[in-house]
Amino acid sequence: MDRDLLIHLPVIVAVARRGGFALAAAELGMSPSAVSHAVRLVEERIGQPLFARTTRSVSLTESGKALVEAAAPALQDIGERIDRIRSVKGRSSGLLRINASTIAIPLAVTPVVAAMAERYPDVTVEIFADQGLVDIVGEGFDAGIRLGEMIAQDMVAVRLTPPFKTVIVASPAYIGRRGRPRSVADLANHNCIGYRLVRSGALYRWDLTEDGKDVVVQTGGTAIVTDSLAAIDMALAGVGLAYMFEPLARADLAAGRLVQVLPQSAIEEPGLFLYFPRRAAMAPKLRAFIDTAQEISRTSLRTSGRKTLLE
């Protein structure tokens, strides 16, 4: 077995995952020239080009794709086994990479990472904020966080939050100028803050309920954002009506900085879930995240007087 080839396989996988030498170098803590040298060495040993290179892109050749498809799962399995061996000493360790939607970070990630910093100082949690759905295995993530309805059935899912409702909110100043919408149809007469889906480029249509039926509403207005937190800022500034998940607006609603309109039209979302492939379930670093999240949720729900949804 060619040992020199084996030690460079993580570099090959990183270049494939990141789609470029510079990005792979940054991830691995290497120089781009060192990454290029490692790739060239492996290509010479195998006798086949692994990447098709242009001035703008780097893509896998058929040989490269075959190698990465074999090497990536093996390297991940080795890493997980090493983490488990280390954890025998009672300390979880390693880099935990999580792909999460932007709205999940304040609602489900930040409290867990804060607690883990004290409990598991040898675990580093890397959060990649992403608005779209990705192949977490193919992209090299340990887990993802999304709404329950968005998760593939072959993934293990662990609830992080209770179900929550969507809300339409506006500032008191906007309500003072334009009044409250009285029906879903009345939204056409209001300045609605739009939300553009980053991956598809389409404008999100508001999911609402009317007379017991689900409806989808195309809105219009003078502002479009790609981040729910930006929509909150716009609403606070009096720009118009914003559509978002209730937990994001809860503090501003309680303080009177925002006002909810059309509460009867709100739909309920299933909540946020951590998801991952079944084989990753026993990784100590992932188990540490799950245990911490569940403890925080139980404490929060117990304090609020609600029954925990995680037990």
Q: What does the mean pLDDT of the chain come to?
A: 88
12, 37, 68 - which closes a domain: 68
- Has residue 80 been placed in a domain? no
> Does 120 share its domain with 154?
yes
> Does 256 share its domain with 284?
no
164-185 residue pLDDT tens: 999 999 999 999 999 999 999 9
Q: Are strands 224-225 and 194-195 parallel, antiparallel or unpaired?
A: parallel
> Does 25 share its domain with 150?
no
- Has residue 78 been placed in a domain? no
C-alpha dihedral (179, 185, 189, 190), degrees to nearest 10: 60
- Has residue 148 been placed in a domain? yes
Its domain, for residue 53, covers 3-68
Q: Are strands 164-170 and 259-261 parallel, antiparallel or unpaired?
A: antiparallel
> Does 182 share its domain with 254?
yes
81 against 110, higher pLDDT: 110
147-157 residue pLDDT tens: 987 888 889 99
- Has residue 175 been placed in a domain? yes
pLDDT at position 308, please?
40
> Does 54 share its domain with 100?
no
Q: Identify the helix (H) or strand (E) that includes residue 58.
A: strand 58-60
Q: Tell me: pLDDT of 303 over 90.
A: no
pLDDT at position 111, please?
93
Q: How far apart are CA 245 and CA 253, in angstroms?
A: 12
pLDDT at position 300, please?
66
103 against 192, higher pLDDT: 192
- Has residue 82 been placed in a domain? no
- Has residue 76 been placed in a domain? no
Q: How far apart are CA 215 and CA 209, in angstroms?
A: 5
Rounded average pLDDT over 22-50: 89
Neighbours of 168 (CB within 10 A): 25
> Does 27 share its domain with 171?
no
pLDDT at position 311, please?
37
> Does 176 share its domain with 147?
no
131-148 residue pLDDT tens: 778 888 878 899 999 998
Count of domains forming the chain: 3
> Does 203 share its domain with 243?
yes
> Does 141 share its domain with 214?
no
- Has residue 84 been placed in a domain? no
Q: Tell me: pLDDT of 57 over 90.
A: no
pLDDT at position 240, please?
98
pLDDT at position 307, please?
44
- Has residue 115 been placed in a domain? yes
Rounded average pLDDT over 83-111: 82
> Does 143 share its domain with 178?
no
Rounded average pLDDT over 35-57: 87
pLDDT at position 131, please?
79
pLDDT at position 158, please?
92
> Does 195 share its domain with 222?
yes
68, 103, 119 - which closes a domain: 68
Give the CATH number for residue 113: 3.40.190.10
> Does 194 share its domain with 54?
no
138 against 98, higher pLDDT: 98
Which amino acid is present at 81? R
190-235 residue pLDDT tens: 999 999 988 788 999 999 999 889 999 999 999 999 989 999 999 9
Question: Is-contact 19 139, C-beta < 8 A?
Answer: no
